[in-house]
A and B are shown apart, each in its own frame.
Chain A
């Protein structure tokens, strides 16, 4: 059972945690001062230390360095006793197991130091073997350059040993790598150690600088996790060391590890400026849900339009012009890199209104392929009486033509030179001639149903709401969904375009054929939050941010998941679900 570590917040695989010591320590952090090593059993026999709440005791260990064969690992395996003080167990990735410790220290750091695939393998293997709410510590590897990527991968604790020895060797470390002190004409830093002329700067100063650079970077990492924007940072920063770029790409290949840990909603910007953004879970997940869960309910033609820098799109100058020309006669879907296709009902849904990208009109082949693939799958699933492509040349037109060819469809192109010229807008309006206007009611119903599809699964919008004969109140985007008796079932949350259910909505969901995300709890009535120890079981499909039904012998409720499903089951500390509404049974 984990008593002295708690995960407070998550940003994908990265966690903001806390060592619950006499003086608490927020992680990811340097743990030099809070680790006390009870020693190696290779060197001598050790007695079991008394431990203390002031620090984490590294239990007596036989560490197995990189290159140790399995037979040796087995023969010299150490039984770690259960202790009631803060403790860390020394393991290798492939000998890691639940040792009842608060933290695990990997002893084969050299096997993945500088090796992207080996790092991925070590982290994944270790994480699958130890409880989710324990800390992972690596010693002798952290630098200002690599610590963000290591934290992104899911490491919680680091130390200064590498930064110091590098300094002693005359290597000046920064977030963009390392440089020999002799090669520096100026000191590119303003830390305390660097407040002196280059000529007086010694290796001792270099040690101090390296440690402060590492501390500063870890502070940045913690802030980035709090903001939900660590990935945005490492996509850029890791470029300075090839193995780190390779490392996060290796993790991108482990979609299920990342997907499980990536929240379904955030209220912050997502920076989409590298070719790696396309592989982000948030982007892939949106494209996947739009093409496998979402279903168009409008009977009007589809109008494909280019995205806009302003989000949501409908508030941009260009889209306002398009919408005037369309005048509710067409179903608008925006084509965009790197999101793919955004049907208008989902334009607020994370990350559609949150991403920001650098627009130059130059499309890479990767972007074209991705958007074309999404559009193709979208059109395989959704039929329209007519498809109007109100898109400019460059990229957009190219993509449309590929899809037309692949699906043997014919698009109507309405842009003459630029989408917002009078001529283009007139073409657009003309192309919709003869099609009727859909009503506000239809628009609003289709919106909440589309969000339900996206959020809960294929067909969910109809299963949940059609039978309930819903009506919508409020003003878009703050729509409320009510049943025939006028009881509120759900609210559309404008910040991230998803539904938040009421208790009645939760019951409706529970009764419907829609697959629920359920957290079974013990016999208590939770208020505020459900803590991990109170959770009996949780669906594996639950992701951070998901709406979940809270179900126990004494209570029924609805809330938002703070952990992913298996983390809820494998944790003994931390908040599992924030409760929105609950009632006693």
Chain B
């Protein structure tokens, strides 16, 4: 982890408070998981610099994120989805990979060209995924065309990525940057690295012949809808300008259990972003150098990005379509009366009246 920014006193106090609260919230969760089963696995389609692939997405159940054990990010509930004891051995991790391969075999006729592995932590952190396991997983998928592995920027190194690139796999590191604005990342998300660390990770990846996919969080807690939208648009643009970062994935914040966001949501102090905001950010950045995609989780529900309830599926469909074709005219095909409400929210929501509309 990099050190907190020079505003040591303020961010330090904020970080301590966030961590203390998040630890307390997480301690309420009692559920434990089988180390031989992945957290989740599914098949989807993804747009990459080499075109659209069928993808196998794996949420690997590792010991979980170390930062989250210290408290961690205000919106992240995945940490609780880790195993008792905190570490998962090589054999168990490989068992999880086998379960995923079985899932793939059962659900699709042809092998997925793209493998995406997330850990709710850092795949490249050797305390989460040992070097031995990393190499074995790279070996397992050596015949695939493309891989994405999730990691915090600190753990990204040319040497580790060579495990994958040596098999001629097009490799990307998925970095949960959340926002290009350090202040928002620190104070709203409680994630402690700086944009400069992200830039450094991009350079490491570049040197290894790999790429970086930046994950941004649409509407962290404490930001109003217009603030969040503005921050998202500028973050996408800043990421796209970093060499090595070829894709930006915008994740609308969803309300996960056992998080600070959930507590705010429960008391009425948080609303996930509007799908119109997601669409707007995609439109506004369609001409950027990076591929910009978004996959709103739980769209249309109170806990996920949503509009009025009437148009959520349509807008979600347009977003999915945009993900594959990067053509902003898809959004001209959708309209709803609730756009006026959203425009009013963008015009008038402040952090002292939010959320203006549920």
Contacts and interface: CB of A to CB of B under 8 A. Distances in A.
A44 B351 contact: no
Nearest to B181: A44
A164 B14 CA distance: 35
A301 interface: no
A71 B269 contact: no
A42 B337 contact: no
Contact of B222 (A42, A74, A170): A42
Interface in B309-358: 337-338, 340-341, 344-345, 348-357
Contacts of B264: 65-68
B184 to A, nearest CB: 7
B227 A40 contact: yes
Nearest to B267: A67
Contact of A161 (B21, B222, B344): B344
Interface stretch (A105-113, A271-279, A393-401, A440-448): A105-113
B268 interface: yes
A42 B184 contact: yes
A69 B353 contact: no
Interface string A202-214: 0110000000000
Interface in A159-208: 159, 161-162, 164-165, 168-170, 203-204
Interface in A492-541: none
B267 A203 contact: no
Contacts of B187: 42, 76
A40 B223 contact: yes
A167 to B, nearest CB: 9
Interface string B3-15: 0000000000110
Interface string B67-79: 0000000000000
Given A76-B17, A170-B337, A42 B351 contact: yes
A140 interface: yes
Interface string A82-126: 000000001000000000000001111111010000000000000
Given A42-B188, A44-B183, A71-B21, A65 B351 contact: yes
Given A42-B222, A203-B340, A169 B357 contact: yes
A45 interface: yes
Nearest to B228: A43
A422 interface: no
Contact of B17 (A61, A71, A105, A203): A71
Contacts of A37: 350
A321 interface: no
A108 B231 CA distance: 23
Interface string B248-263: 0000000000001001
State which size class the interface on B falls in. 35 or more
B192 interface: no
A63 interface: yes
Contacts of B355: 110
A139 interface: yes
A310 interface: no
A386 interface: no
A75 interface: yes
B96 interface: no
A37 B353 CA distance: 12
Nearest to B179: A43
Nearest to B25: A69
B337 A63 contact: no
B195 to A, nearest CB: 14
Given A43-B227, A63-B222, A72-B14, 19 more contacts: A42-B223, A42-B227, A42-B351, A43-B223, A43-B230, A61-B351, A63-B350, A63-B352, A65-B267, A67-B264, A71-B20, A105-B352, A109-B353, A139-B352, A140-B354, A140-B356, A161-B344, A165-B341, A169-B341
Interface of B: 13-14, 16-18, 20-21, 181, 183-184, 187-188, 221-224, 227, 230-231, 260, 263-270, 308, 337-338, 340-341, 344-345, 348-357
Q: Which 6 A-B pairs have the closest CB atoms?
A: A140-B353, A67-B267, A65-B269, A110-B268, A75-B17, A66-B269
Interface of A: 37, 40, 42-45, 58, 61-63, 65-69, 71-72, 74-76, 90, 105-111, 113, 139-141, 159, 161-162, 164-165, 168-170, 203-204
24 contacts: A40-B227, A40-B350, A42-B183, A42-B184, A42-B187, A42-B188, A42-B223, A63-B352, A63-B354, A65-B354, A66-B264, A67-B265, A71-B20, A74-B17, A75-B17, A108-B269, A110-B354, A140-B348, A140-B350, A140-B352, A161-B344, A161-B349, A203-B340, A204-B340
